[in-house]
Amino acid sequence: MAQEPLILSLDQGTSSSRATLFNSTGLLIASASAPLEIHYPSDGWVEQDPLAIWISQLEAMKSLEEQLSDDQLKSIISCGITNQRETTILWRRSTGKPCGPALVWQDGRTTDLCNKWKIEGLEENWKKKTGLLLDPYFSASKIQWLLLNQPEAAQASIDDDLCFGTVESWLLWHLTKGTRHCSDMSNASRTLLMDLQKLEWVEEFCETVGISLNALPELVPCRGHFGSIEKGLPFAGTPINALLGDQQAATLGQLCLNTGEAKCTYGTGAFLVVNTGNKIFRSNAGLLSTLGWTDANGSPTYCLEGSLFNAGTVVQWLRDGLGLIKNAEQINDLAETVEDSAGVMLVPAFTGWGTPHWDPSARGLIIGLTRDSKSGHIARAALEGIALSVATLVQLAEDSLGNKLGELAVDGGAAASNPLLQAQANTTGLEIRRPNNLESTAKGVALLAGVEAGAINDLKALVENKQTSSEVFMPNMDKVDREKLMNRWDEAVKRSLRWHGK
């Protein structure tokens, strides 16, 4: 009996790298991961070693390969790559050597540079063409910072030997041993350098940033043939057929295929993404217009996105910073030792605010403490703080689209928390749907690679399984109490904005 075709998914995240195997129905077959260190050299600075990113992904691949049988290895027909977006890497084309650290998407060191561009009146044109705002979150200002502050990067640019890439580009370079320097349109749409409608690099923005068009990767659709994994690497010979930013991949993995369908991923940050079909939907409320994915010809599906920089980091802080829990799962038990948060609120703006405030100077706070406040109240407030942050995004998206979201599909590590998802249902008034497999990001890019490789004929045929393979959380808070809670939350958030800690 012939073995069913299998699809390899490489999921390079902020705190770990995964290698996962799926079948053509999106069923998880096997998975392996490797941790990745994050460095915080100064307040608001977040960086990683580019080589450590590659090594972490390579270790996950090796670990997965060792788990598999010969028959399974022979049945792998395709590979997809998904990644932490906006994280910026510069390297030399001639050697592959990085020209400085990878500036992570959370990094806020370029705040002054973005403010300078705003003062010069550049934001409106940038927003019109890219769908994004001038914020340190995106790649453009990170590129300029590296060129100005890393002599090796400046010299490589002078030598016309410079390569820029986001993480999928960096991984593809290594997997193909330097033969392919590409960026897919979903990741490119997060750089502030791609025209969202024309789907091409914007030369004037590159000139402002100070990077040559020669240094940019080839702009490619999200589906196609992007080379094969080279000899000497795990899974050598496997064709690479899909590249996709992590939040777009999770949206596809949740099978949000129709206009108006939405998901939220709770990873390091929290990201609400709403499918807007073939229309670029523009928001004046701080939401982002972005490219979701393309077909093999580059025809796009667009999305509206709200981005929060801290979600899973809140749980990590309770574990590593305060020592209230020993592992992430214990936050649920601790939160359930109390009936409610007793008025305590935790605003999770550790590295600034994304949507809707776009304030990298904001900082987190805990408010409402009394002598009766216990660790359980803080744990519950932490989970509720994540839910309330996302509820704001949902409200903005509904206002922008003029429609209520019927339900919200959720995934990511923190989505395993029942108290969090019940709080999310209560704060949004929506049904919250959690799939049995939370690896939606890895699944999404695997499905896209499977379509390109011919193993999957129609993604819509998979939707009917979505209802039976998920759990639903229903709201149990009335509208009046919800509005009171959101008003208190808005007041707490205002106190976190423009907090410099001085």
Would you call 68 helix, strand, or coil by DSSP? Answer: coil
- Per DSSP bridges, beta strands 76-83 and 240-245 are parallel
Helix 167-175 with 50-67: angle, nearest 10 deg? 60
CA atoms within 13 A on the CB side of 177: 9
The DSSP string of 226-259 is: --BPPTTSTTTT-BEEEEEEHHHHHHHHTT--ST
E strands, 230-367, are: 240-245, 262-266, 270-277, 288-294, 300-308, 345-347, 365-367
R_g (Cα) of the chain, nearest Å: 22
Per-residue pLDDT at 460 = 79
The token pair at 27 is 């069923």
β-pair partners for 486:
none
Per-residue pLDDT at 322 = 84
Distance CA 502, CA 495 (A): 14
Per-residue pLDDT at 468 = 59
In the 8-state DSSP scheme, what is residue 459? Answer: G
The model carries a pTM of 0.88
Distance CA 491, CA 38 (A): 32
98 with 26: CB under 8 angstroms? no
The token pair at 226 is 């992007």
Per-residue pLDDT at 330 = 86
Distance CA 428, CA 348 (A): 18
* Run means of pLDDT, 10 residues per run, the chain, 502 residues: 84 94 91 94 92 97 95 94 96 96 93 94 93 93 97 95 97 96 96 96 95 96 95 96 95 91 90 92 88 89 92 88 85 89 89 85 88 90 93 91 88 88 93 87 94 87 69 90 89 80 46
Per-residue pLDDT at 502 = 43
418 Cα distance to chain centroid: 22
